Structure 1
Amino acid sequence: MKPVIALVGRPNVGKSTLFNRLTKSRDAIVADFAGLTRDRHYGDGKLGAQEFIVIDTGGFEPTAETGIVKEMAKQTRQAVAEADAVIFVVDVRGGLSAQDHDIANYLRTAGKRVLLAANKAEGMQESPLLGEFYELGLGEPHPVSAAHGQGIRSLVEAALEGLLPEEEPEDEALADGSEARPIRLAVAGRPNVGKSTLINTWLGEERLVAFDMPGTTRDAISVPFERNGQRYQLIDTAGLRRKGRVFEAIEKFSVVKTLQAIADANVVVLLIDAKEGVSDQDAHIAGYVLDAGRAVVIAINKWDAIDSYQRQMLERSIESRLAFLKFAPVLHISALKRQGLGPLWQAIADAWASATKKMSTPVLTRLLHEAVEFQAPKRAGAFRPKLRYAHQGGQNPPIVVIHGTGTDHVTDAYKRYLEGRFRAHFKLSGTPLRIELRGGRNPFNEKDS
């Protein structure tokens, strides 16, 4: 699973600037969930091929006892608890403060690896002002400038040291060529939508042999089980815990666990509460599923608890708020009453089959030519993009790579048109399909210098 880095510090030291630098965006909020303060944000960072999750927190006052400051401190403590490493951001130009000492005292007791980032240190790598931060007892400060990008790479490399996940064999088969690996299945959704009830229903109904699989931090748990000869591995997002021989599912919402489970899954069941409708939280989670390229099935839980008018309004809400997941099947279930679970399993199987479908180059190229013949891409000036051939570039999600000339001028609308043609022919359901356009240089366009 992706390592997690939390950014901690007093107000106005540059945590948000560093967050945006690490996530390579000016507004890189992946999840701004209801129930959390505005000052706790989650984003995706990348260093080379290594991906990680970054948590931005509000100004931290560990000794606060009342008001919004106390709530912000509570959110920061939660971020520290979720993190593998903590970057404590201080302000070189502002100097050391009593609040920095309070934060350092808390971090020393948190049991986490802590790196001290001395921000706003552009041109001050050798400045004696850095010396006073040794007083915090957190080791050597890393001089950085979040605004200018100086020293960021070495800081992140130090934070990720020893946290790199082990490489896994390909999804389709084990490294030794033996039986295919199980489908990794995650159930995601906001608190109290029935994730725990659905998981417990599966565990009981299918007569499963389940066990804790340790080995990851933050007590992430995977539960292997089998249904109709197909092996699955349930990746927990609902706080599954073992008590004796009985599994208890505790609704404990952790954003980090949800993001990690989605990233680690092959198929995601997005569970929505029929009585509550589609919330901003649901849309944020759905957006992350799409960005991760995961196959997805939307399950509307507690469908039996709403009337026909509510059902009609809910369906309209799904069409509008989750329009970007229109490829995902929508199932109506009741986890408590065990209704609709058979079709849900079939939709999960179909989504996985679509995500891993093999598409031959001749068929893809023929479909491309037929699509262009039916509707050619728009002209770009005096020239029209020419799309010559297509081949498959990956699975889960399936990627179709199209080669031609002038591909930079192919519009997004035309890419969606091509996607629809490919989807219809291969009957893809429940999986995103990505179109990549690659062009070749025309040597006759290059003039001698």
Structure 2
Amino acid sequence: MTINLGKVVIVGRPNVGKSTLVNRMCGSRQAIVEHLPGVTRDRIERDVQWSGYSFKVVDTGGWLQLGSALDQKVSGQVQVAMDNSDLILMVTDGTVGITDEDLQFAKIVKRVKKPVIPIANKVDSLNQEADAWLISKLGLGQPVLVSAIHGRGTGDLLDQIVDVLKKNQVQADEVSDGDSQEKTEDEPEVTDQILKVAIVGRPNVGKSTLFNRLAGQERAIVHDMPGTTRDTVDTLVEFGGNTWKLLDTAGMRRKSKIDTGTEHYSVVRALKAVDESDIVLFVIDSTQGVTHQDQRLAERIDNSGSPIVIVCNKWDLLSVDEKLAMRKEVEDELAFVGYSPLISISALYGRGVLKLPQLIEKAKDAYQRRIPTAILNEAINKAQIKHPSPQGKILYGVQGATDPPTITLFANRRLPTSWLRYLEHQLRDEFDLEGSPVKLRVRIRGGN
């Protein structure tokens, strides 16, 4: 069992290798890396284990003194990450030396009043070390020289991180008993048991706005430019005594529209979040209606087997007639996920958002429901009496699995697909399975 030591944030100006360092520390490609500045925007948390200890590492976007409105939001997220950290790693480019932005940012880092380890990255050989030592002029302490891409010096860096965090923990224990507070903040041992809720949809439909509304803070960067979110951002939230792990994902477009490697990896991460989630909030822009890409995404989510809640966002921008037409359009164009509840909201103003927790919990309960065999067969027999199959008969059925409910039907002949859809609807109504997929498997008895 590892001992959790807290949270480490990696900061610096754009393109100094922060995400590469995160990947090296995690031992896998957790962060998206490109040879372009500004790839990382939101702050992304990952787990790191080293020498029997664990800590969270927070990857941040590049800090800029000046820039666009989006750049300023990225810099604001960097400040929030530093304020909530136990240790700051300020990364510079050892091949470039100290820039004016490094000097300005170092002043901001000092004002945070947290332990700091200055890092010169991209120091690939001994010949580069002399110039890299110049970053000591930042006044943040003795620098650590590393090459994140090659792993040079990263072991020594991890040792130093663990030493600093252990000293922090000892000092905190001397002031007060912080064990319970630390467990509440990090919750390292119960995360796997927490319900994972992924927010998925096309670019610019309001996923990050909904994420921030549910999280109660600007945890994800929101901007009118499509594709603002590039990696999956997660945070723990609590509603009515239930704790969820919210996952904000990058917007997914058609393959032909994906024009950068960064966006490709963003989509890969988003699809991974869908596959690993327990519930998916599928967000649609009500002002644009159900597009072909919405249909493709809904099909992909349905194939993952996760329960779906359809969220029609920007509902406040529709007239009464447009709202009626939109509901009809969702019913028609997304009929193949007709088991999914639909909710209309305005994430920007919070209208309707408070109804989401109830739908999520209901979908979770349906997804995990187990039906006793005797009660299941009573419902099957009742459905057959009400509307017999034109061909074949079910002898009995058993539920073989949950997540989602999977029912094996033993029949004397092959059953028509249309009648199986009827039976599925009957079972949904009987056992209140709204929100969850239901799998029906038919086995033929007697070889007929």
TM-score, structure 2 as length reference: 0.50
- Rg bigger for which structure? 2
* Structure number with higher helix proportion: 2
TM-score, structure 1 as length reference: 0.50
